[in-house]
Chains A and B, each alone.
Chain A
Amino acid sequence: MSTHFQTRFKTLLQREWMQHHMGWLIAMLILPVIALVALPFGGVQLGEARDLPATELAGVVIGLTMLAVWGITLLMTGFSLPGLARRDHQDRSIEFWLSLPASHSESLVATLFMHTLFVLGLALCVGMLSGLVMALAITLKLGGFGIWLQVSWFQLVGPALAVLARLALGTVLFTLWMAPIFMVFMVAAAWLKRWGVPAVITAVVATGITLKEVYGNAIVWKLLGEQVTGAGSAFFDSMHLIGENPSVQIELKGVGDVLGWAARDATEALAQTASPHFIGGLVVAGICFALLVLHRRNSH
């Protein structure tokens, strides 16, 4: 029975890949491709980073590309999540899926996993690889082939992996922090169809404004704010170094600094999950999941 489950679950994941991988890859690669194509024509805006030594410059380019690709992917998947709840309903293929053995929970978990953790994790990898290509291109543009020899690629491996690990953990925590928000949208889209998302936004904004202006209670904004900042810092810079000291990044020299930073930032991000906002968010997300299961159970 459990091997059936494993095969089934793997197949459910495979379904998501089969259906969406083109869209995912296009979204992830579009920015690097455009940047690379534009590179020969435009100047390179790097600000202070231009003065960095070659290795650090390459590292920064890789890092920024990773963040950019991740960000675009986040936008893409964020907008697609509410639609996922109704994805198979419009063409009635839900009847086909429901005629095959796979529980509602399994199906929903597989979908959620692939469209959050997996796709964002893939974005990090694609971002890193395309960042590498970008780094090669930019250093080339700035200093010719000679620069490539100056960049100590070997030195970058450690920090790159450390940052990748930090961001991977960050992605997991980010998703969990944001879960109540996107799952509420998914439930609304499932039950109210195309009016779901507007209905939620309207309800939240109306409640927020009413409570703030009429009762002086900014709780709605506070809760949302806590959730989003929690997510943001869980993903990156949980120690909130940026903003207080803009030049901090540049002071990180060498492998040890980055590895150390990654470890400390990760620990801090984990520590921050011991928060009522995080736990409460998970409870809300759990309720939403149950509602999505209920919705799927009643679709026929």
Chain B
Amino acid sequence: MNNAATIASPAPSSTPLTSTPTMSHLIEARDFSLRYGRKTAVDNISFSIPKGRVVGLLGHNGAGKTSLMKAMVGLIGGTGELKVLGLDPRNQRGELLESLSYIPDVAVLPRWARVHELITLMSGLQPRFSAERARTLLKRTSVGTQDKVKSLSKGMVTQLHLALIAAIDTKLMILDEPTLGLDVMSRKSFYEMLIDEWCDGERSVIISTHQVEEIETLLSDVMMLDEGKLVLNISLEAMDSRFVALSHDASAADAVASAHPLLRYRQQGRPAALFDGEPPEHLQALGQRFRPSLVDLFMALTRKPELRARQD
């Protein structure tokens, strides 16, 4: 019984929230695949992302998140259709990069440079970069403009990179694990900046992260990748109405199991089950409804094969 396969992503035309058909989306993908030799990183996915969204891209390591993001910024090419801001990322990379900001998933700032040199270089290379804004953002961190990148700790390098990217005024932000290595306060600061600066209804942010719990409130939509397949592409609003979690007594376990939930787990010590759609009436009486967290849903839909075997 392959539950994950039945959670097909809705067809691209049924977009979650209000959107007029004439408005072109910031990102559009149709039957898009990425292959490295024999390995398939992204397997025939389709989706579209309108403006004004914060999309969480979730998946285990190797699920294809980083590959998909790299394809969006033109670093690798695949088959099928992928349009970002109306452009072909692979062939119109230069033009595309003037209108989007990208943070790769590794701390990659050049180690020889000083902070003020990086600011100068970015001013010259990225037309939408504001040196003044970068300096303002850096004041809130412990990074000084005279510091050499190689003298900074990993966390400070990340803060620096985030400040530099946040100083770019673009419609689309693609962030691959941007808060990796940051402490809680810095992460919070980043989330606040994200909400304050980037949620104006015109911009969209695509963010991949392992800290699913923290980020849940920031998101408007979520895309889950599992082994290259898009197992879920849904707005948080739709998620609220579609998935139901039930916590029950041990005695109801068999009844629950026979209704084939997506996932059976424990919630605060009690057995619980997660359903796609409304669970049968008789079951609802046996348990208490509660809101499945994004983490629970993620676990349910992207279980590793070994775990799946144990469940069945």
A residues with a Cβ closer than 8 A to B are 4, 7-8, 10-12, 14-15, 18-19, 88, 91-103, 300
Contacts and interface: CB of A to CB of B under 8 A. Distances in A.
Contacts of A103: 93-94
Contact of A101 (B94, B103, B120): B94
A99 B93 CA distance: 10
Contacts of B125: 8, 11-12, 100-102
A102 B94 contact: yes
Contacts of A101: 93-98, 125-127
Residue among B73, B76, B94, B113 with the most chain A CB within 10 A? B94
A204 to B, nearest CB: 32
Interface string B94-133: 1111100111101011111100010011111111000000
B130 to A, nearest CB: 15
A95 B93 CA distance: 14
Contacts of A98: 75
B65 interface: no
A93 B103 CA distance: 12
B97 A96 contact: no
A19 B148 CA distance: 12
Chain A contact residues, majority secondary structure? helix
A143 B257 CA distance: 105
B248 interface: no
A101 B94 CA distance: 5
A18 B117 contact: yes
Interface string B177-192: 0000000000000000
B121 A91 contact: no
A99 B104 contact: yes
Nearest to B76: A300
B264 interface: no
B246 to A, nearest CB: 44
Contacts of A19: 110, 112-113
Contacts of B229: none
Contact of B122 (A88, A95, A100, A300): A100
B109 A300 contact: no
A99 B97 contact: yes
B70 interface: yes
Contacts of A97: 110
A70 to B, nearest CB: 26
Contact of A11 (B103, B106, B112, B124): B124
A93 B111 CA distance: 8
Interface of B: 70, 73, 75-76, 93-98, 101-104, 106, 108-113, 117, 120-127
Contacts of A99: 73, 97, 101-104
Contacts of A94: 108
Contacts of A10: 124
A12 to B, nearest CB: 8
23 contacts: A7-B127, A8-B124, A8-B125, A11-B125, A14-B124, A15-B121, A19-B113, A92-B106, A95-B104, A95-B106, A96-B104, A96-B110, A99-B102, A99-B103, A100-B122, A100-B126, A101-B93, A101-B95, A101-B125, A102-B94, A103-B93, A103-B94, A300-B75
Contacts of B97: 99-101
A12 B110 CA distance: 14
Contacts of B70: 300
B68 to A, nearest CB: 13
Nearest to B161: A96
Contacts of B110: 19, 88, 91, 93, 96-97
A203 B106 CA distance: 37
Nearest to A298: B76
B28 to A, nearest CB: 21
Given A4-B127, A11-B125, A101-B98, 8 more contacts: A15-B121, A19-B113, A96-B110, A98-B75, A99-B73, A100-B97, A101-B97, A101-B126
Residue among B93, B109, B110 with the most chain A CB within 10 A? B110
A78 B98 CA distance: 34
Given A93-B110, A96-B108, A101-B97, A18 B121 contact: yes
Given A4-B127, A8-B124, A101-B95, A96 B75 contact: no
A170 B110 CA distance: 34
A92 B107 CA distance: 8
A95 B102 CA distance: 10
Please name the 8 residue pairs, one residue from A and one from B, whose CB atoms are nearest each other, closest first.
A11-B124, A101-B97, A300-B75, A93-B110, A95-B104, A95-B108, A96-B108, A99-B102
Contacts of A14: 120-121, 124
Contacts of A92: 106, 108
A12 B108 CA distance: 18
